Structure 1
Amino acid sequence: MALLIPRISVAQAATLINILIAALQYTLALALAALLVYCIPAVNPALAWNVIGRRLHASPWATLLRAETVRGTGARVALFAYLSLATTLLVAVAGVVMPLGLSSGPMLQAPLKGVPAAFVADASPLGLATSPRQPMYGRVCGGFRPVACPGNAVNTTVIPQAIVDQFNASAHGPFGMQFRRYYNGTAGYHYPMSVPQFTMTESLILRNGIFAVEGLIVDLDNPGVGLWNHTMPSGVAHGGVWSEDLLWLEPVTSCVDTNLTIDYTLAGTYLTYQVEKYNLTDRGGFYNLTHEYPTFNRDGQNLNLGEHAYKGAVLSNFYTMRAFNNMTRNASHPGRALPVNSSTTHFFAGKLQPLSMLYMGQVDAGGNLSFSGANLQTACVGYGGQDIANISNVAVHCGLFLGPPQRTDGGDARLPADNSTWTQRMFACASATRARMQRVEFASNGTMDLAALRIARSDIATPVLWGMEKSDILLSDVDLLWGRVPDAHERAASLWTTRSDVFYVPAGATDIWGVTTGGMAGVLPAMAWTTLENPLSQVDYSGVTNFALLRKFQSMLLRDPLGGAAQIKNLMWTDLMANNVMGSDSRTSLLVGENVPSVSYDLRYAIPALLLILLWLPSVIGAAFVLLTGLLKISYLRYLLSHTSAGRIALGDSALRPVHQQYMAPATPMAGATRGDDETRWAKGAGRVPVWVEQGEDGYGHGKERDFAAVATHER
């Protein structure tokens, strides 16, 4: 059973408890002293009066009734009396005020130690939709006919063990990546293997931050996914912190403004948001188009996506301009509006969408030659199906991107209406997938819950060795395996290797065909890019049916047009990957710094205690000094305690004497005892003499020279 009190902190509760206990202690002392006085008989042994006097003078009655005064006691006695009173008050105030400064402090970390790790299931829709982990690895080689895969593997159901061992020597190879959902059947040339079911289960794109889902760490602030088969420390009551090095896949995109926009006026499109007729407006894409043919640096893994995007923008604008009856640069001007419709451009305006590099269709290039969007695509990415698959042919993906609609008449973009005017900017973008090693820091609160994890990631300072199968197979025929490999394989004859912080994923058959036969999950980055480039894709990021997504994309583009367009594409890719890939490597133990609870204290509430310490410290040091040096002996303290007791004074056995009187012999043998005599001797002898309180004129003993009198003579 527990008592619940709202609107109060632990520190305030502790203060109230201290006040209550202090009140109980104070009133109980008053009550017990009063009951003692009422209950004692009139006549008691002198020893009993010692106890009674001690209790009365130690009780609050002595202060309340001002039974004693310090006037005339001398400066030293008065000083210590006032110090005693101040100490009592400070103790009371400190006991009440000090708890108010208490609060729960941060969790502190204990030194790292090995802790058993346990798998934690993900109860989210992604976790529920994930297939059991029984995939059949394999791959198909040959776009038009079967060809031998690397390792001379003709029957591609089984990947040669030498290749498996080579990549499994590191925990971050291709076999640690799996399809989230798959179908165990046949693919390609009727080889049995797992075929991916590339679909959307739960879109995460509206979320922010970095978080864990089934088999992954997903970062939507800096888009990317980390392969992590979620095992967490078990038996850690308050949680803890630990780190793991994960293989991270991230999209990299660079966009160039084509300086062409789509402009239109809404009229009766509230049901479909499909605008059939609109203007293609020249903002510099035609009249200011460069005369120099764009090129890019072909330096393998040293990739400049901006050069690819620029080449795509220039070539797309040039051939689009020619589609308007071979229009020249001089024939256009700033703001020229070219009326077009969905029949000529092959797309409806009014929504965010990918576009063909030549959305006006095939263009006559002269000399009985024509130029298509596929030709522009190849020129932009820098590779084709007849190139050799190798580490230098990076999987670049190019395409035009029509940004989200933005209102231009000053109205609220959240309220489309008839006769409202809108514009959409057109970008040429080049994208690639980059792999890197990331050190991911985890912090748990003690619950085995993925949603409760706090996650951060950072780069690993040391470059690592990346490897890729070495072959002479055409790009259109194979998806080569790649991943991090041990340093011992740096000069392996069967691998291309490079040591770097990052590794751009090379192109393969999936990048060429836009589909995969399955078998190896390393093809998923290419599938995500080709899905985003396909205007007919069933995955919808247009914002037509999701206004929150539309608002997010509109605000991103307003803040930073070029960076916003690139970030939109990166978020889409990350969302697709999170729904279709997962990591499989798990751990049985982790090095964990356990959380240790702490208490925080506000020192302002310690001021009374600090003042008390200022009194306590010199007092204790001074007392220790006089006791340890022999200036004051314990025997003398015992002597004074004995001879200042009420019973001794009443019997005349006390060593206290008026200075102006002559010394009188003690009335009892104990009175003449030296300081070293045992107090118990007096208690057994004179201490048993009955003593009573003599009644005075007012009935309470006032007006008499002495309040205590012996009513019997000590029998010697």
Structure 2
Amino acid sequence: MCYTDEISNTSINGCPGAPTNLSSNNDITENFSVWPTSINLFTSGKVSSTVASLFDIQWRTFRSSRQPSGYYGPIGNPFSEGYYRPISQLILENDLQAVEGLIVDSKAGRVGFRNHTVPVDALDGAGWKEDILFIEPEAQCVNTNLTLDYSYRANETGSGELSDRVLVDHGGFANLPHIRPTVDPSNFQADPALRSRAYRAAWSHNMFLMQYFNVTTNGSDGLAPFAYMNSRVGQSFPLPNESGFLGTAIMQTNGDYGDLISTPDQRVPDTPGPNPFNITAADGFNIGSEACHYPSFFARSNMSFVAIACGLVYAAPKRTDGGNSLFVDSNSKWSIPIYSCAVGAKAVIREVQFQYNGTGGLEELVIQSINEKAYLSPSEMPLWGVERAQNYTLYNLQPLWGIVSSELATRDDISVVRRDHLWLPGYPDPSIAVPVTGKKEPNMPGNLFYTRALQDLFHISASLNEIMSAYTGDMDLALYARWLELSTSPEGIAKSLDLIWTDLAANSVIGTRGWHSGPRPPLNWNGVPQRDETIPTPRVPVVLWSRRIRYHLPYAIPAFLTLTALLFLGGSAFFFLIARRTGLAQLRQSLAITSPGRILGLSQGLDREGHECHLASTQTWIRQIGVQRVNLPALMARQSVPLRPVVTSSSALLSGERDTPAKVRSGQGSD
């Protein structure tokens, strides 16, 4: 919406890029259009055809609506608007997923824009890389070193109630630095100062509460700041019976830094404590705007105003009575760490490795990895441009952004920076008291959705609408266990905010850029392409897979060793054969020499012809010696019984002798 009104305080009518002959503020086309010159400008950059632009981002769910006269034109004019309806919660997936129009990284927390396509002729599968535009949240948190402690008691209704609510000083009051931290606002594109903003807001929050509880003075009473200190580490301060914090065993957030002393439904102070400085909840509400450097309604649209949202995170409480923090028991005691966080979002091009097995549809598309894109020199980095509208305020005009060509970098209506990423501009409105998810949105998601998601991050509460209460973990024990795991450190809390932003974004928008859509042709004033040309079907470089059977060589090491031994033995045998050191005759002789039966016959003198019969053929040896019988007595204790031949009729015929058989004890010998 880029019209002139009393808020913008400008004298220029119409939207940026509109023809000069349009000057009537009553023309809806002039006041609510993105003109072709702006579209051509922010799609002029030389990038891969797979890199989406701001205009390739659409609402995931939308509807047709009509508005009263004077808001979006004459009454009855229909228009398309975004409408948030969550489809699924991806926080617990902890994976890289391809969903409709997006690549969702629920590990690191980010979304990439891709209208998914897969190879049609990769029967055995394929792999390839693409450059993809990602929007990545980045949160920085600091511990306020304050905890909200309370007891839980079951009541008659079964819902339970919180009692004995106290704020405990773990150094947030007693050890608060006496110098107020500062934030350098000179170049938020180079350094958005996320941690500095979060720390400044935490410091202001703690000072706000210290004044409320009369812990110290800020100097407004004439005394020197921190002239006295009425707190020590471990001291507790009773809180109002009703304040902005409701529920137990859940994680909650709030963009209102005065939440602890305000009632849930209004910003009217509930002051049971001393409050000598007349601190009101409105003073706490303004902490986020001031400490986080929110722009004002009258700030002009440009690159300097990076979309940053700040707020408090009431982490998942832990039991202090030794019980299991996953379960709520009556009369249990709990403690909630309080963190101050600042969150922004940046656009960046990543290199994505895809894998497709070729046997199914998009469900078989696998995101293997998301990697930083390597640039050989700074001159190869993208040239990011942000709309610079000095005659329009952020309240009316959310700046466009995108990758622009170097030839257009000198234009006076854009700000440019050459870097691998761009911190996205925008205006997070802290005055919005309820989440904007589920509300009506203009059909321009590319410069709105990330700011809306940043605002929603600090409206997570069980007392608000069902969309944001789903992130508390109240009705999802697995989600609460995840929050409990991440609530032990500022880094963990920052990770939880990144994941929630990713889930909100994934359910809000989709990307329409893909191989089949290609780059957007330049547009004429009538909004049609300048050339009536058909975009040819692209040829995508992929690595096609094929099935082959290959042997893994390390598994062949035993076979190689065995083969070496066989070759050595075979070679040795061949050598001895040639040298006449071996042969069948030698082998036969060796077998005869080592035969137990022949050795026995020779040792008993059965071979009357000496070694001649001992080395005779098998048939000859059996006929002359093998048919003889000998008695083999058993070994007796400490005594050996010599072997004696037993003469049989056949042996007698051969030897001509007749001997008396040796007598053996029963069990000591055998035939």
TM range (shorter): 0.5 to 0.7
SS of alignment partner, residue 233 of structure 1: coil
Q: What amino acid maps onto 1:372 in structure 2? A: D
Aligned residue number for residue 476 of structure 2: 546
Asked if the contact 2:385–2:403 (Cα under 8 Å) also holds between the matched residues in 1, the reply is yes
Match of 2:233 among 321, 327, 334: 334
Alignment partner of 1:465 out of 360, 383, 404? 383
> Any conservation in 1 of the 2:215–2:231 contact (CA below 8 Å)?
no
Describe the shift of the 1:573–1:276 C-alpha distance in structure 2 as closer, same or farther (beyond 3 A): farther
Aligned to 2:659: none
Residues 505 and 143 of structure 1: CA distance in aligned 2, closer, same or farther (over 3 Å): farther
Q: Any conservation in 2 of the 1:312–1:380 contact (CA below 8 Å)? A: yes
Match of 2:490 among 524, 544, 562: 562
Matched, 1:351 2:250: yes
The one-letter amino acid paired with 1:442 is: F
Q: Which moved more, 1:198-207 or 1:165-174?
A: 165-174
Q: Quote the Cα distance in structure 2 between the aligned partners of 1:437 and 1:616.
A: 64
For normalisation by structure 2, the TM-score amounts to: 0.66
1:583 equivalenced with 2:507 (yes/no): no
Distance 1:235 1:178 in 2: 30
1:304 matches 2:204: no
Alignment partner, residue 292 of structure 2: 381
Residue identity matched to 1:584: T
Contact 1:309 1:430 (8 Å CA) reproduced: yes
Distance 1:424 1:370, change over 3 A: closer
How far, CA to CA, are the matches of 1:564 and 1:348 in structure 2?
Answer: 21
Residue aligning to 2:58:
178
Task: Say which SS state the counterpart of residue 570 (structure 1) adopts.
Answer: helix
CA contact (8 A) 2:211 2:279 kept: no
8 Å Cα contact 1:476/1:512 also seen in 2: no
CA apart distance, 1:342 = 4.7
SS class of match (1:476): coil
Aligned to 1:482: 401
Structure 2 unmatched ranges of 5 or more: 20-26, 46-50, 218-227, 270-274, 376-380, 517-538, 576-671
1:28-67 equivalent positions in 2, closer than 5 A = none
2:181 equivalent to 1:294: yes
- Contact 1:466/1:498 (<8 A) preserved: yes
How many residue pairs get aligned? The number is 481
- Residue matched to 1:95: none
1:93-128: CA deviation from partner (whole Å, max 9, x where unpaired): xxxxxxxxxxxxxxxxxxxxxxxxxxxxxxxxxxxx
| Aligned-partner SS, 1:525 | helix
Residues 597, 606 of structure 1: alpha-carbon distance in 2 compared, 3 angstrom cutoff:
farther
What residue is the counterpart of 1:533 in the other structure? 458
Q: Which residue of 2 aligns with 1:323?
A: 212
* CA distance 1:283–1:229, change in 2 (3 Å): same
Counterpart amino acid of residue 165 in structure 1: N
**Bigger mean CA deviation after superposition, 405-414 or 294-303:** 405-414
CA distance in 1, matches of 2:102, 2:62: 17
Partner of 2:551: 600
In 2 relative to 1, CA 342–525 (structure 1 residues): closer, same or farther, beyond 3 Å? farther
Distance 1:394 1:271, change over 3 A: farther
- Per the TM alignment, residue 557 of structure 1 is displaced from its structure 2 partner at its CA by 2.2
Using the TM superposition, give the Cα deviation of residue 143 of structure 1 relative to its aligned residue in structure 2, in angstroms. Answer: 7.8
State yes or no: 1:258 paired with 2:144.
yes
Deviation at 1:467, TM superposition (A): 0.9
Deviates more, 1:247-256 or 1:586-595: 586-595
Q: Greater CA deviation, 520-529 or 143-152?
A: 143-152
Distance 1:430 1:281 in 2: 23
Read off the aligned partner of 1:343 and give its amino acid letter.
Answer: E
CA distance in 1: counterparts of 2:252 and 2:281, whole angstroms: 26
| CA deviations over 1:222-244 (Å, ceiling 9, x no partner) | 11000011011111011111111
Once residues 223 and 435 of structure 1 are traced to their aligned partners in structure 2, the CA distance between those partners, rounded to angstroms, is 13
Higher alpha-carbon deviation: 210-219 or 535-544: 535-544
How much has 1:486 moved relative to structure 2? 2.8
The one of 221, 226, 233 aligned to 2:112: 226
Give the number of the structure whose residues are more often helix, by fraction. Answer: 1
CA distance in 2, matches of 1:376, 1:142: 30
The match for 1:422 is: 334
Amino acid paired to 2:551: S
Aligned pair partner of 1:504 in 423, 445, 448: 423
The answer to whether the aligner puts 1:313 opposite 2:202 as a matched pair is yes
Q: In structure 1, what is the equivalent of residue 666 of structure 2?
A: none
Q: Distance in 1 between matches of 2:338 and 2:560?
A: 67
- Amino acid of the structure 1 residue aligned with 2:406: D
Conservation of the 8 A alpha-carbon contact between 2:292 and 2:310: yes
Q: In structure 1, what is the Cα distance between the partners aligned to 2:72 and 2:181?
A: 44
1:457/1:615 Cα in 2 relative to 1: closer, same or farther (>3 Å)?
Answer: same
> Who is 1:169 aligned against?
44
Say whether the 8 Å CA contact 1:351–1:405 is kept in structure 2.
Answer: yes
Measured in 1, the distance between the counterparts of 2:301 and 2:177 equals 33
Aligned-pair CA distance for 1:400? 0.6
State the SS of the aligned residue for 2:239. strand
Give per-residue Cα distances to partners, 1:372-401, cap 9 Å, x unaligned.
344212112212222111101111100011
The code of the aligned residue for 2:57 comes to M
Q: 1:80-105, CA deviations, whole angstroms, 9 ceiling, x for partnerless residues?
A: xxxxxxxxxxxxxxxxxxxxxxxxxx
What is the letter of the counterpart of residue 181 of structure 1?
T
Change (3 A) 1:443 1:142: farther
1:145 positional shift:
7.0
User: How big is the shift at 1:447?
Assistant: 2.8
Q: Deviations over 1:266-301 (max 9, x none)?
A: 211695465254111111111222221221111130
**Matches of 2:406 and 2:367 in 1, distance apart?**
33
With over 3 angstroms needed to count, the CA separation of the structure-2 counterparts of 1:386 and 1:510, relative to structure 1, is: same
Tell me how far apart the structure 2 counterparts of residues 530 and 357 of structure 1 sit (CA, whole Å).
14
Q: Secondary structure at the match of 1:231?
A: coil
Question: How far is 1:144 from its partner?
Answer: 6.7
Deviation at 1:419, TM superposition (A): 2.3
Tell me which amino acid in the other structure corresponds to 2:374: A
**C-alpha displacement of 1:572:** 0.5
2:301 alignment partner AA: A
For 1:266 and 1:368, the matched residues in 2 are separated by 29
Q: Who is 2:444 aligned against? A: 520
3-state SS in 2 of match to 1:314: helix
Percent of matched pairs sharing the same residue: 28
SS across alignment from 2:353: strand
Match of 1:243 among 107, 129, 152: 129
1:16-31 correspondence runs (5 A): none
* Contact 1:350/1:405 (<8 A) preserved: yes
Q: Distance in 2 between matches of 1:143 and 1:214?
A: 40
Q: Which amino acid aligns with 2:236?
A: A
- Go from structure 1 to structure 2 and tell me whether the alpha carbon gap of 1:209 and 1:140 turns closer, same or farther (over 3 Å shift): same
How do residues 639-654 of structure 1 correspond to structure 2 at under 5 angstroms? none
TM-score (norm 1): 0.62
Aligned partners of 2:6, 2:164: CA distance in 1, in Å?
A: 42
Matches within 5 A, 1:31-180: 139=1, 141=3, 148-152=14-18, 155=29, 156-170=31-45, 171-180=51-60
Q: String of CA shifts for 1:153-207, please: whole Å, max 9, x gaps.
A: 7624542111112223345321011110112334682255421112322111111
1:436 corresponding residue in structure 2: 348
Q: 1: CA distance between counterparts of 2:242 and 2:455?
A: 24
Distance 1:577-1:448 versus aligned 2 partners, 3 A rule: same
RMSD (Å), alpha carbons: 3.1
Query: Matched residues in 1 for 2:323 and 2:285: separation?
Result: 39
Cα separation, 1, equivalents of 2:166 and 2:276: 25
Alpha-carbon distance, 1:609 to partner: 7.9
Separation in 2, partners of 1:198, 1:276: 37
Q: Give, in whole Å, the separation in 2 of the partners of 1:368 and 1:461.
A: 52
Alignment CA distance shift 1:466-1:512 (3 Å): farther
How far the C-alpha of 1:487 sits from its partner, in A, is: 3.1
Between 1 and 2, higher relative CO (CA 8 Å, sep ≥ 6) is seen in 1
Instruction: Give the aligned partner of residue 675 of structure 1.
Output: none
